[in-house]
Structure 1
Amino acid sequence: MKQPMTVTRSNFNDYMVPVFAPADFILVRGEGARVWDQQGKEYVDFAGGIAVNALGHAHPVAVNALTEQAQKLWHIGNGYTNEPVLRLAQQLTEATFADKVFFANSGAEANEAALKLARKYGNDSGVEGKNRILAFNNAFHGRTLFTVTAGGQPKYSQDFAPLPEGIEHVAYNDLAAAEAAMSEQTCAVIVEPIQGEGGVLPADVEFLKGLRELCDRHNALLIFDEVQTGVGRTGSLYAYMNSGVIPDVLTTAKALGGGFPVGAMLTTEKLAQVLTVGSHGTTYGGNPLASAVASAVFGFINTPEVLDGVKQRHARFIAGLEKINAQYAVFEQIRGVGLLLGCVLKEKYAGQAKQITTLAAEEGLLTLIAGANVVRFTPALIISEQDIDEGLQRFERAIARFVQA
């Protein structure tokens, strides 16, 4: 019998398509907000799998749900339904504005479904040419050809031209620009209530309210991309709940499965009827394994204790980061909501966010970037005070090295 290969970081360069540039170490184990690499080095995890690991690593709620379901039913395809997916759909609709759910495997697929729904809604409206979609500069909605076009970052889309047509971008938080761009041919507006990949930039409440009014005026759908902000990340179950603005369509993924791939598009009874049998689909979406885990994770998070705890942890993070910045004066601004936080570098240090995350890893801390100028934190929603404090101490050591470099 052939012995299993000894895995090293160089194997990535040997076998993997080079669309990622992962760190030089390989993580092999995690527990809570701590992870360990092949050499046994321990890290505090402030990255959270990019806002995915809402309960940290190997949380019993998720582990038990997965192992229990794994002994029952894995996959049957969508010619049949299953109990876990129906339970999860009920949880999502009872907790939000929505009446109906479409399940997918990722945020990109959830956004793809939302955009296809919008196009079909426009095409069915009877208004000629009602197929235009308004999106925003520096947005991020996924990596399919449709969603990467809707994202307002040409660096992710320009190499894949020709791109889908009928998508226009204007400045984020600029209501006048949105109003000027909209017409009766607009079928939808897609917006992140906080731009995540675009720099952890929250939308102004008046901007979101204005978009709602514009969509109502032009009979267009308002789509909230809550892939990164959803499932407790902001201290509310979904970020739309912080604004008083109710979208027509909402997309959710990342934290929904706590690390198991799952995404969903939520919408109203009326709009759900736009997509008829066979008009859209998926092989894996809503399979029993993903649904069972997501149901357990969602149920655990959707409690006052967890959601209020996010707000308390936010205050602890902000206080610690401001203390570090008072000493080292590296950041122009520390922004974000709940446990979606961005530290914006001063002009003096522009473009060097990646260097900070590399130094942080050397100090035993996993962090993220959100563009070249923002260091991003998206830790577990239930990260302990001890892990927050320890992680911030390691971050301070990294910042001290950064300014001395």
Structure 2
Amino acid sequence: MSYLMSNYAPLEVTFVKGKGCYLTDTQGEKYLDALSGVGVVGLGHCHPNITAAIQMQAAELLHTSNWYHIAHQETLAERLCKLADMDNVFFANSGAEANEAAIKIARLHGHANQITNPVILTANQSFHGRTMATLSATGNAKVQAGFSPLVSEFIYIDFNDVSAIQAHTNNHNIVAVMLEPIQGESGVHVPKDDYLNQVQSICQANNWLLILDEVQTGIGRTGKLFAHQYNHITPDVLTLAKGLGNGVPIGACLAKGKAATLLTPGTHGSTFGGNPLVCKTALSVLDTIEQDNILEHVIQMNEYLVSGLQSIATDKVTEIRSKGLMIAIQLNQDCTELLNAALQKKLLINITGRSIRLLPPLIISQAEADIIINTINELLSAL
């Protein structure tokens, strides 16, 4: 009998130890983690720098509250804002909470402009979280099923279609556009190179906020610290989580310009958000990314992995989509069975629709990439 609620359907394995790109189960078997805990442990499991930071901070101070100054929080806020060219930041505990803060900022922006029924445009097949507001923002009926009435007001538009956004410029209730630079959960959908630039132009012309959800794409996953840096733009609001803590729960909502002045004392808060432990850990993550030239490595490994996957001789693959170490292998048939088949081969992957999704640690080596390529080849051959 399990005392856990049944909202998860875990695979038949329990991991007890991790190191680098590998996890070890209760039987002592090692698995190559090509999913990074769903894009979280970018620097791998139990990275020595991160472990040392956690141990050191745990011995000093875990928690006070945000009623007092927190030195590591203020240092991390300055570091992130300078790296992202933003003005200030609110710290939360997850990507969903960071996005919740972004939605509240958008509503405050609307009310500051005498809009009593603020509307946010979000994309079909997006994913922004599972709180009531963020699942309402998510353009996926499957995620929303059973939770109506949803939080209003969101309008869903097709991703990578500027005209779909332009079509709403006559709606005076719209206050923001909220997008993932690359749609991750729906299968690594990469938009046209200038898509975000055009969206930003529409937002600026209409006094809308541009909110970029980089919970999955941020902190080096795409080969830039933030995916929107490929477009040489700065959003009004930027949300982060996942890789920022390398496994320690932390979320961040960054804002710039008019968006940065909207959260005032009493409008939002978090008991645990930005505590000394998570902020010290996040600072160590940023230090390691810089010191170890992780971003350059991500670009190199993207080329290596994608080239190897493209060399697989099969007509079952219709497309390979990627940016950095976000990779999807689109198939022409259902591939749900590959999840357990990969587990049997000691490889952790994700299946999204008819695609295999890979989010390997940013520190992955060529030898480990070869294991992924060869195992995927074996899986497809047996499909």
- With the shorter chain as reference, the TM-score category is over 0.9
Structure 2 SS opposite 1:299: helix
Per-residue CA deviation, residues 126-148 of structure 1 (Å, 9 max, x unaligned), is: 3x345110001000000001000
Per-residue CA deviation, residues 327-354 of structure 1 (Å, 9 max, x unaligned), is: 22221100110000011111xx1x32x2
Which residue does 1:341 correspond to in 2?
A: 327
Q: For the structure 1 residues 66 and 72, does the alpha-carbon distance in structure 2 shift closer, same or farther, using more than 3 Å as the test?
A: same
Query: Does the alignment pair 1:227 with 2:208?
Result: no
2: distance between equivalents of 1:334 and 1:364?
23
TM-score by length of 1: 0.92
Which residue of the other structure, out of 133, 158, 162, is the alignment partner of 2:149?
162
2: distance between equivalents of 1:35 and 1:330?
29
- Deviation of the 1:230 alpha carbon: 0.2
**1:2-401 superposed matches below 5 A:** 14-126=2-114, 128-129=115-116, 131-182=118-169, 183-302=171-290, 305-324=293-312, 327-346=313-332, 349=333, 351-352=334-335, 354-369=336-351, 371-401=352-382
- Deviation of the 1:304 alpha carbon: 7.5
2: distance between equivalents of 1:205 and 1:387?
30
TM-score by length of 2: 0.97
Per-residue CA deviation, residues 279-301 of structure 1 (Å, 9 max, x unaligned), is: 00001100011111111002211
CA contact (8 A) 1:231 1:255 kept: yes
Q: For the structure 1 residues 277 and 149, does the alpha-carbon distance in structure 2 shift closer, same or farther, using more than 3 Å as the test?
A: same
CA contact (8 A) 2:117 2:153 kept: no
- Deviation of the 1:192 alpha carbon: 0.5
2: distance between equivalents of 1:30 and 1:105?
23
Structure 1 SS opposite 2:270: coil
One-letter amino acid of the counterpart of residue 235, structure 1: G
- Deviation of the 1:225 alpha carbon: 0.4
2: distance between equivalents of 1:385 and 1:66?
29
2: distance between equivalents of 1:304 and 1:218?
42
1: distance between equivalents of 2:282 and 2:2?
34
2: distance between equivalents of 1:171 and 1:215?
16
One-letter amino acid of the counterpart of residue 204, structure 2: D
Runs of 5+ unmatched residues, structure 2: none
CA contact (8 A) 1:360 1:367 kept: yes
> Alpha carbon RMSD of aligned pairs, Å?
1.3
Deviating runs (4+, > 3 A) in structure 1?
A: none
Structure 2 SS opposite 1:227: coil
CA contact (8 A) 1:365 1:395 kept: no
2: distance between equivalents of 1:177 and 1:268?
26
1: distance between equivalents of 2:152 and 2:136?
9
One-letter amino acid of the counterpart of residue 361, structure 1: L
Per-residue CA deviation, residues 148-179 of structure 1 (Å, 9 max, x unaligned), is: 01110011113100011111001111111111
- Deviation of the 1:244 alpha carbon: 2.0
One-letter amino acid of the counterpart of residue 260, structure 1: V
One-letter amino acid of the counterpart of residue 381, structure 1: L
Runs of 5+ unmatched residues, structure 1: 1-12
